[in-house]
Structures are given as structure tokens and as C-alpha cells.
Amino acid sequence: MIKDIVKDTFILSQPCSEATEKDSYVIEDLLDTIKAHAQTCVGMAANMIGVTKRIIVIFDEREYLIMVNPVILKTSGKVYKTMEGCLCHTGEKEVKRHEKIKVQYCDKNFKIKIKTFTGFQAQIIQHEIDHCNGILI
């Protein structure tokens, strides 16, 4: 189901709790909502639709990648400054991002995965994990 985007900074600044298999329904809501915003959105965290669980979805080249309980294990490469926007607020803000990240997460079936991401994909994941940690850009 397509959900409204949360703009309340109090809700968005709350760290999200670990997701469990009982939270699987959130994945479909996230997918429906990000697809409805496909023209302007490449990543979404569950708290953006009002669910404070560590679930994110990003557009990964050709498809949507679901990441449950994502954790950055390692960063490498240069740190760079960039401007980012978010559906939760208007305008853009300057942030620092790592060029390369290694992430552990569970897929939609709660199977553990570890994958390295670079460039724009790494940037999107860092933005969404910030959401999970209650960090607002």
C-alpha cells in the first residue's frame, strides 16, 4: 500500500529498532511507496512511512534492493561532500559520504548478505541508514 511520507522531525529523529520477520509487511509498503515516487526518489527508509524499523529499499541499477537491518561494516576510499535532498523535507543539504562501503543486511527472506557498494549506490545506502539511526540531513 502506498503510504504518506512522514515529515515530522520528531518521528524521523528516533533511532529505529531491529526488524523481525513480523515486520515483513513493511517491505511491500516501502516498495509500493518508493515506486509511487520513482521520478524523485531512489531510496527510502521505513521511518519515512511512519514505521520505526531498520528496513530500507534502494533502486540498485535495474531493480529495487531490500535491506533489512543494514549495518555498515567498513568504509574505504575518499570521503566527499555532496548535496542531498529528501522527500521528508524541502531543499538540499550538504553531507559527507564515503566513496565505498561494505554492508551487512538481511534480504526480504531474512537471509544474511554482505556486499560492497560504491559511488551513488553507496551514497544512497548511507543516506537511508542515517534515517534508520535517526540522523536527519
Among all residues, which ones are annotated catalytic?
Answer: 128
How many Cα atoms within 13 Å fall on the side-chain side of residue 40? 12
120's CB contacts (< 8 A; 6+ apart) are none
Residue 124 and residue 89: Cα distance in Å, rounded? 16
The angle at the Cα of 136, spanning 25 to 29, to the nearest 5 degrees, equals 15
